[in-house]
């Protein structure tokens, strides 16, 4: 596994880098040249096409087996990451309408939080921590992977 950064981390990102360092993981300059990729280049609040380093990294992994975390980076714009599957967190996002395949992952947020936010979210994760919102993929065991 390798981790590649698309920008200088903010305070939260610096915390995560310290966690990686404690695990013995140092970010690489470039993604590995083979194996699957986990796309986490940009977050849900980013709007518009990928630019700069994020666009370069998305282009570098084009054509590879990509799993997008929460939202495919650059979704809806030229140069966007084209994942085999998207794993979104907590609740589906409006922007993911039509994304296939789509898996919803439980991150442990209590139902009371949704109620406080005025959302009537049923208990989605009664049986498992993952919920296939769209057709599932056959799992494959990768030899090595890159995380963007």
Q: From first to last of its 148 residues, what are the pLDDT tens digits of the chain?
A: 789 998 888 998 899 999 999 999 999 999 999 999 999 998 777 778 999 999 999 999 999 999 999 889 998 899 999 999 999 888 778 888 777 888 888 888 888 888 888 887 777 777 778 878 766 554 443 334 444 5
Please say whether the beta carbons of 136 and 130 come within 8 A.
Answer: no
Taking phi over 0 as left and psi of -120 to 50 as alpha, with beta for the rest, 106 belongs to: beta
* 124 in any annotated domain: yes
* 98 in any annotated domain: yes
Q: How many domains does the chain have?
A: 1
Q: Residue 86: is it exposed, middle or buried by C-beta count within 10 angstroms (0-12/13-18/19+)?
A: buried
Residue 71 to residue 87: CA distance in whole angstroms: 8
In this prediction the pTM is: 0.77
Please say whether the beta carbons of 109 and 90 come within 8 A.
Answer: yes
* 55 in any annotated domain: yes
* 127 in any annotated domain: yes
What was the pLDDT predicted at 139? 44
Residue 89 to residue 102: CA distance in whole angstroms: 11
* 130 in any annotated domain: yes
Q: What is the domain-level CATH number for residue 56? A: 3.40.50.10260
Domain that holds residue 61: 31-147
8 vs 5, 25, 54, 124, CA distance in Å?
A: 7, 17, 12, 36
């Amino acid at each position: 596994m390798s981790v590649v950064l698309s920008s200088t981390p903010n305070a939260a990102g610096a915390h995560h880098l310290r966690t990686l360092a404690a695990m013995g993981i140092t970010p690489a300059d470039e993604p590995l040249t083979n194996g699957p990729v986990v796309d986490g280049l940009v977050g849900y609040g980013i709007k518009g096409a990928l630019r700069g380093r994020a666009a370069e990294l998305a282009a570098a992994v084009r054509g590879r087996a990509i799993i997008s975390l929460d939202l495919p980076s650059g979704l809806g714009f030229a140069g966007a990451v084209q994942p085999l599957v998207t794993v979104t967190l907590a609740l589906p996002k409006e922007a993911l309408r039509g994304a296939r395949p789509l898996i919803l992952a439980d991150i442990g947020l209590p139902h009371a939080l949704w109620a406080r936010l005025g959302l009537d979210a049923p208990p989605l994760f009664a049986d498992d921590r993952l919920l296939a919102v769209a057709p599932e993929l056959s799992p494959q065991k990768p030899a090595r992977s890159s995380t963007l």
